[in-house]
Homo-oligomer: A and B are copies of this chain.
Amino acid sequence: MSVKFPDLNLDKQLCFSLYAASRQVTRLYQPLLKRHDLTYPQYIVLLILWQTDGVMVKDIGHQSQLKSNTLTPLLKRLEQNGLVSRKRAKEDERQCYVFLTDKGKALENECACIPMEMMGQTDMSLDKLMQLKSLLDEFLQLQEKHGG
């Protein structure tokens, strides 16, 4: 058994590491984001909007890999906090466009220091972080190809 499948345990361990690392990163972000009354998933959505303002919920979903059942309540919270506004598209009433408010746009500058602060907390070389990202992206791409 251990000859035929020498690394049968690897995937357990890999998934375990991935799971723990992801939550650890979220924990690292939390104190930085709390200053701006943001959660980590809210920050992810804002990163998407700061890149391109006025995006459909569907497209935010595609970029973040989150569905409307997660995004709708999250976006409502961002709206309640005055960071975004949601408008139905006139040409297709099913679609909902999300726009940054002035406050939401201003927040981008206030959050500008976060990436730097995070980098400082990782203690890993830039080279290894890039390697890590590259491997994760390869995994995600293979998944997108295979899983639709």
Contacts and interface: CB of A to CB of B under 8 A. Distances in A.
Per DSSP, chain A at the interface is helix
A119 B8 CA distance: 8
Interface string A97-121: 0000000000000000001101101
A128 to B, nearest CB: 6
B14 A19 contact: no
A103 to B, nearest CB: 21
* Copy total for this chain: 2
A88 B26 CA distance: 33
Given A128-B135, A132-B132, A132-B135, A18 B22 contact: yes
A129 B10 contact: yes
